[in-house]
Amino acid sequence: MSTSAAPPHSQTLINLLAAFNGESNAAARYAAFAVKADQEGYLKVGSLFRAASRAEQIHAANHAAVIQKMGGTPQATIAPAEVKTTAENLQAAIAGELYEVDIMYPDFLREAEAQKNTAARRTFKFAFEVEKEHARLFTKALEHIQHCVDKTCEKLSSKATYYVCPECGFTADQAEFDRC
């Protein structure tokens, strides 16, 4: 079944719209969290949030392309980001990523597979795999903050480079990765 043959209000289309909205909001939230991390002197965490924000933009764009192929219109309602301390922002980010990994994307993948929608399955699978890595990177950053109270700690006070795959959004702290 091609993606264009799906019913206009299929569950997969509804899931894509929800994912597009969620990824769009995550991108905005992580951009705001990056500013706060920089303000608090956690430059490496700020770099991580910016990279994750870019990855979420890629996920949203991938979802949008499939939504359009299915005859839908991608729309997002961006909620104001609730910015707290960097440690609290990391905790919120971890919780959001784990929700996507444990509940949202597995459910969306099952539905896309049931509807034999390969384009939706592909974009959901990309996001699912990347969100696992985001949860890992955010958890690692939070552990550094909790164990390095002196903000001059090398692992926190210097900027870092993260690499984001322009196709799937995979985020890594090393240039050598092969995900798509």
Give 178's pLDDT tier (boundaries 50, 70, 90).
low
Tokens of 145: 């903050």
pLDDT value, residue 79: 96
Handedness of CA 162, 141, 96, 28 (dihedral sign): negative
Kindly report, residue by residue over 3-25, the tens digit of the pLDDT. Answer: 444 455 699 999 999 999 999 99
Kindly tell me if the per-residue pLDDT of 122 is higher than 70: yes
**pTM confidence score:** 0.88
Mean pLDDT across 121-143: 96
